[in-house]
Amino acid sequence: MRSGGVEAAVAVLRDMSRLHQLESEVRRGETLAAAGQIAIGLAHEIRNPLGAIRGAVQLMAGRWVEDTRLAEYTDVLLKEVDRVNRIIEMLLDTADRSPAPVP
């Protein structure tokens, strides 16, 4: 019987939640990868002048051997330069562990 009314209907439902979750993970991975690249660039830019500072302090330390007070200052400076270098190493280690971007 054809009265022009709908006799049957088919509905296709698709759960898109997993797809949305995967897209979110990809975006997060890309963000972390970009942050890692920035960290690597910053570390490089900080390390160069830090190496020059360390070298200058070592030269000063060699000239001020007789002055105990100045020798103490250069020791503190060298320890602090080393501390900043360790912080940079931790930053680079963290950047190396960031996930690679998904192609």
pTM as predicted: 0.62
Rg (CA), the chain: 30
Let me know: does 92 contact 39? Beta carbons within 8 Å: yes
pLDDT value of position 2: 62
4-38 confidence digits (pLDDT tens): 787 788 888 888 999 999 999 999 988 888 888 88
Angle, in degrees to the nearest 10, between helices 68-96 and 17-63: 160
- Please state, in angstroms and rounded to a whole number, the distance separating the CA atoms of residues 97 and 100: 9
